[in-house]
Chain A
Amino acid sequence: MNSVSVQDADFDVGLETAALSAGRPEVGAVATFVGLVRADKLAAGGGGAVTAMTLEHYPGMTEKALEAIAAEACARWQLLGTRIIHRFGRLVPGDRIVFVGVAGSHRGDAFAACEFIMDYLKTRAPFWKKEDTPDGGRWVDAREADDAAAGRWES
């Protein structure tokens, strides 16, 4: 069972993690990842520290893209469930941005699928970050390292 949410509200990591195995004794492993807005991140080009960021997305496509990534993970590994939550709107350092949780029988598949979902999400889900700095708003450029991280799952 896969579940995707794209929302402006925060999420409860404990509740989401527990829900992946609740009432399901066949689950032997739950791997989770939580992404946060970093406080120490500096704008490229020497700008000031990030005071907030705004996440824009493509309603409709975002949900489809995340569902496709979860389905791809289930095709590659033996999984018992996935949960993806991605926030949009204005966020400040320390805020949670993304949650990925994967339930499986064993840890190997759960760990791998969790990392795979994050890597694919970074390059395939239509989100864009705009950072607020003391010098004004600045769109975050895509990172080649993210393409490389997604690419390593192709072989």
Chain B
Amino acid sequence: MSIKVLYFASLRETLGYSHETLTLPASIATLGELRAHLARRGGVWEALGEGRNVRAAINQEMVGPEVAVADRDEIAFFPPVTGG
């Protein structure tokens, strides 16, 4: 399964990446599992770890960690929003 992952705002600056294309192992089925998978890279990627205040979207819709990830999805991770 191949997906595109985007990072925004302070998370983008912390990680040093605005986007990447990833091929996921079959063991990763949900958004929460993807996030844990990325956090296991260690170092700055621990910003995605459990307990960190991070929101996520799949295909430009904000969703929770239980939602399934599918091939060619556009996934985004970002801090809580501060518009308006």
Contact = CB atoms under 8 A, between A and B. Distances in A.
Contacts of B82: 122, 127-129, 139-143
Interface of B: 6, 8-10, 53, 57, 60-62, 76, 78-84
Interface in A123-151: 123-130, 139-143, 146
Question: Which secondary structure dominates where chain A touches chain B?
Answer: mixed
11 contacts: A58-B6, A58-B76, A86-B84, A98-B84, A122-B82, A126-B57, A127-B81, A127-B82, A127-B83, A139-B9, A141-B82
Contacts of B81: 122-128, 142
Given A125-B83, A140-B82, A141-B82, 12 more contacts: A35-B84, A57-B83, A58-B78, A61-B57, A64-B61, A121-B84, A123-B80, A126-B83, A127-B81, A127-B82, A139-B79, A142-B80
Most buried by B among A97, A123, A124: A123
Contacts of B76: 58, 61, 126
A143 B10 CA distance: 16
Contacts of A65: 60, 62
A79 interface: no
Interface in A61-100: 61, 64-65, 86, 97-98
Nearest to B13: A139
Q: Size band of the A side of the interface? A: 20 to 34
A128 B84 contact: no
Most buried by B among A124, A130, A142: A142
Contacts of A97: 84
A29 interface: no
Contact of A128 (B60, B61, B79): B79
Nearest to B80: A142
A31 interface: no
A124 B62 CA distance: 8
Contacts of B62: 65, 124, 126
Contacts of A14: none
A64 B84 contact: no
